[in-house]
């Protein structure tokens, strides 16, 4: 199998997951480097409206490389745990379906390495 099978460059997305959260959407995209190593991009996208009614998407992107996964996951978990201890567990957006697993923070990057 070569890198361009099905007309796809290996640096294209290998895996993609979109998470809608209120007015924002988060995209978790696994991509490959030229050396065929994987990295993760996390993109926050939010629809913004202009005064004339037109809209555009405001995006912020974070690149996360596998050597940083463990430290990033640890820092994220500590920050989320702190917020939950101080302010309580978030119960969801209005109109969102209720789930029995209320936003447990279990960030695992092992399968990407």
44-101 tens-digit pLDDT: 999 888 889 898 999 999 999 999 999 999 999 999 999 999 998 877 765 544 333 3
Average pLDDT rounded to a whole number, residues 1-27 = 73
Give the integer Cα–Cα distance in Å for 74 and 89.
19
What pLDDT does 13 receive? 75
* Domain parsing of the chain, residue ranges: 5-112
Instruction: Tell me the Cα Rg of the chain.
Output: 18
Exposure letters 54-86 (e unless 16+ CB within 10 A, then b): eeeeeeeeeebeeeebeebbeeeeeebeeeeee
Query: What is the CATH number that goes with domain 5-112?
Result: 3.10.450.700
Name the residue with higher pLDDT: 73 or 4: 73
Q: Which helix (DSSP H) or strand (DSSP E) does residue 59 occupy?
A: strand 55-65
What pLDDT is attached to residue 73? 97
| pLDDT tier at 108, thresholds 50, 70, 90 | low
pLDDT, residue 24, reads 93
């Amino acid at each position: 199998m070569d890198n361009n099978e099905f007309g796809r460059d290996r640096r294209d997305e290998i895996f993609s997951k979109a998470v809608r959260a209120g007015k924002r959407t988060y995209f978790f995209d696994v991509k490959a480097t030229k050396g065929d190593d994987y990295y993760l991009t996390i993109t926050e996208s939010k629809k913004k409206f202009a005064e004339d009614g037109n809209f555009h998407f405001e995006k912020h992107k974070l690149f996360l490389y596998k050597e940083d996964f463990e430290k990033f996951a640890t820092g994220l978990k500590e920050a989320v745990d702190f917020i939950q201890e101080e302010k309580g567990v978030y119960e969801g957006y209005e109109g969102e379906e209720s789930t029995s697993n209320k936003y447990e923070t279990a960030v695992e990057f092992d399968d990407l390495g």
